[in-house]
Each structure stands twice: as structure tokens, then as C-alpha cells.
Chains A and B, each alone.
Chain A
Amino acid sequence: MRYYSYFPGCCMHEDSRAYDTSAQAVAKVLDTELIKLEDWNCCGSTPYTVVDELAAFCCCARNLALAEKRGLDLLAACSDCYLILARTNQHFKEYPEIRGKINEALATGGLEYNGNIKVRHILDVFANDISHDEISSKVKVDLGGLKVAPYYGCQVVRPTPSFDDPEYPQSLDRLTESLGAQVVPFPLKTRCCGGSLILSEEDIALGLIHKLLSNAASNGADCIIAVCPFCHLNLDAYQSTVNKKFKTNFSLPILFFTQLMGIAFGIDSKTLGLQENIVPPEKVLASYIKH
């Protein structure tokens, strides 16, 4: 049995509950327990760092301090939470002045952080802590005919040091192969989806989403798998907006990679939250899904 502290982050309670439930279900199959961090708060994301830097660091440090009490690595499923928490952790170690101020602020809430926690992404755990053999031994549904474009997005491989190559990562490709599905070439797999600008600069973000969908579709993908709630939201919920704007007719289901793992493991579609996907995945996945 493997144990990790798990930082859900806000998206898991909002638009990406399917990511949360599928991750939990898949972890269970793999003898892995994700122990939710009690009383966690929002990571603050990039905007808070920009507006109020020290407060943003303290926002993350409170979560790190809570996790340190348990002593397990802190896992995030959202790439942004992962990057932001890891960034604070790195600054905490590199800048003594920031370390001092963070602990001065944490003391006001009766907390202290010593820098002993490692922040990790759930993809890192499923792809690197668990072996290919262990994953393929749990596969119950043959995904042999399914062509998958593994989409990493930007932030999951960007913190330094990264668990995979920052420009041409392979961990999600390998994991997809362990599940028995076919990986299609996807040259734009680490290009940004426009995540943070979808509300304030929609046209720019839609252009970036369009490029990704075109790239995956032209390589014959039946679906795209994502490792971040923002990537998923942009590619899934805004796909029809992209179709209108660029006069295209993409109908590419976007799955959280944990949903694909769950399908391969024979977990039922409700637990995996497939009904929450906006681009209907049934057509492509009909022969694989368990109801």
C-alpha cells in the first residue's frame, strides 16, 4: 500500500469533480491511498502571486505546513496547484528572507513549516511510482483500437527540477501504452491551452485551443487525455466555441487521464464522472465503457 497526502484544489469541487472521483477510484485499484489534506485552502494560483506576493507564498505555505504534520509527499492533480505549491516550496528553501517571513506569518495561525515536504503531481505518481507491469496487470478492458493523444499542457512538466522532460515528456505516453491504448503523435503536447486567459482574453485562448485540437485531430486521435482541470475545461467546454469561431467541426472527447485509466480498469462510467464531459465521449468509447 502506498500513501500520499492529497491536495484537491478548488477545481475538484467545481468543474472537475470527475477528475477527483476518477483519481480516487483508480488509486484504490492500484493499492494507493490519497489522503485528503484536511482544511486545505486555495493555492492562490498565478494571479495572487502577482497581486500580493508574500501573501500568496503564505497561502501555499499553510497547505505545506498542514501536510508536513503528516509527513507524506503532497500530491496535486491540478497542474497549476502543483506548480504554485512547488514554487513556494522552492522559494522557501532558496531565499532565507522569504523563509523567515513565511514562518512569521504562519506563527500567527499557530503553524510552522520546515521545508520537509515534497510537492508532486499525480501523473508523476501513476507513471513513475507504479510500474508498467502493475498497471497493465489491472487492465480488464482491451483498449487496443483506441487512438489517444496524450496532452500534458504546460505547467505539469515545468517546475525545475521536473519529473519528466520539460519539452518532450514521455510519462503520459508510456502510461497510455501500459493501459493498452494506441498513442498518436502529438507534437503540440506541451503547448499551453491558454488556460489563464480564457476569461480575460478569450480570442487569444481560443486560437491556442484551436491549434491543439487541429494537431490532435490531424494525427488521427479519437480522444485527448488531459492532466489538468484548466486544460480539460478549455478543450472540452470551449470546443463548440472554437468550432463556431474557426468554422470547424471537432468532436473530440477530452478525458482526464484518470478517466481513461478507470475505463481500462473496468470501473463504471458514473464513478468516473463520464456524464460530466461536455463533448460526449460515448460515441468513441461505447465499446469500452462499463455502465
Chain B
Amino acid sequence: MTTKIHGSNSFIQEISSMPGGEKINLCIQCGTCSASCPNANRMDYTPRELIAMARAGMREEVLSSNSMWLCLSCYMCTVRCPRGIVPTYIMHALEHLAMRHNVSTPRTRTPTLYRVFSDTVHNSGYIPRLGCMTHFYLKVNPFSAMKNMPVALALFRHGRMPIKPTRLKPEALGQFRAILGKAKALEAHHEIL
């Protein structure tokens, strides 16, 4: 799928080079995305504003905002966009760029969670809830884990938080890691270009 890029600032080019990001210039600023978003009122800039700012080349302001980190990936904006844009993918692209260039806002813990989650997937091909939660709380604030103790205990009591995680068979894990290692190498090559 190709869409002609009208806006030509380098930020727009970066967003457009990611799958789903190429339609950003079709936006007519109607605001349907913002009106459909369950979290728009908590964002520094609403999805509509974020797209306008990106097209105006306001790279720093966009990438250091909390907006995309509050995206729930519920795709309601995507369902309703009259121009067929996938604002959810634009949010993902902005999260990716903020992370890659280390400009994430400290006002949200979501980037840390995403990092912990991804490292776990990458290393084991599986997400053990207990391990992932523990790792996350150790990184952000171990004391905040206390607040969630009742939920964790209820899960334990009902047999819903196994201590011993499921593991991939060694051959399967080896294959998984080889594939992902190659994917990372291809991605790094792409980013250098």
C-alpha cells in the first residue's frame, strides 16, 4: 500500500516509514479520533492535536508528551476515522520513536513496562506474570508493589499466579531466539540506512 507523502518534514518521513504510519497526511483534523478515545482527556495533546503537531514538525514536543503512552490500543479511533487512518499505529510509531531516541516522559511508567515486557518475550518466548510484575515494580518503585499486594494474593489464592513459569522446549527456544536475532539484525541494518 503506498500513499503519496505531501508533508515532507523529516519527522513525518520517520512516522510514514513505519507500517500504518504512511496515512498520516490523509488526516482532515475532524477530531473523531479524540472524541472516541477513552483517555484523550488525560493526554497532554489529544490524538488530533498530536497529528497536527507532527505534521508541523514539532518533534520534541510530540515525543516528550505523555499522549501516546496513554493509548490503550483499543482501536476505537481506527474504527471511526473517516479517512481510513490507523491512529493506533501512529501512536505505536510515536512510542517507538520516543523510546529509540530516549525522549520518553518520566511522567508515565508505561515505557518501563513495555521494556520489561519486551525483554522477557525476547529472552524466553513467554510471559510469566509473576516474573514480569516483580521485574517491573523493582524498576519503577518497589514500594508501589505493596499497594497491589491484595490483588496479587487473591490471584495466588485462586491458583492464578503460578510460581513456576511454563517454558519453551530447548529446541523451540533456540529456534525462536535465532529468528528474533536475525530480525533484530535486519532492523538495525534498516535503521542505519
Contacts and interface: CB of A to CB of B under 8 A. Distances in A.
A17 B72 contact: no
Contacts of A116: none
B126 A10 contact: yes
Interface residues of A, number: 65
B187 A52 contact: yes
Contacts of B178: 108-109
Interface in A142-198: 154-155, 158, 166-167, 190-192, 194-197
Given A48-B121, A98-B19, A158-B78, A104 B182 contact: yes
A238 B72 contact: no
B28 interface: no
Contacts of B75: 83, 154-155, 158, 166
Interface string B60-78: 0000000000101111101
Given A42-B126, A44-B121, A158 B74 contact: yes
Interface string A12-25: 01111100000000
Nearest to B166: A13
Given A109-B178, A200-B112, A238-B151, A46 B186 contact: no
A277 interface: yes
Chain A interface SS verdict (over half): helix
A134 interface: no
Q: Which of A39, A191, A276 has the most CB of B within 10 A?
A: A39
Contact of A46 (B80, B92, B122): B92
B53 to A, nearest CB: 20
Contacts of B162: 13-14
B151 A155 contact: no
A215 interface: no
A133 interface: no
A13 B125 CA distance: 13
A204 B19 CA distance: 29
Chain B interface SS verdict (over half): helix
B182 A51 contact: no
A52 B186 contact: no
B142 interface: no
A32 interface: no
Contacts, number: 194
A47 B72 CA distance: 11
Interface string A34-73: 0000010110111111111111011100100000000000
Contacts of B168: 39, 41
Contact of B115 (A51, A62, A94, A278): A51
A178 B117 CA distance: 39
Interface string B117-152: 110011001111100010010001000000010110
A17 B171 CA distance: 25
B157 to A, nearest CB: 8
A167 B176 CA distance: 36
A83 B78 CA distance: 14
Given A15-B155, A55-B184, A39 B169 contact: yes
B48 interface: no
Given A54-B186, A95-B19, 4 more contacts: A52-B187, A91-B19, A167-B76, A194-B72
Interface of A: 10, 13-17, 39, 41-42, 44-55, 57-59, 62, 83, 91, 94-95, 98, 101-102, 104-106, 108-111, 154-155, 158, 166-167, 190-192, 194-197, 199-202, 204, 208, 237-238, 240-241, 275-278
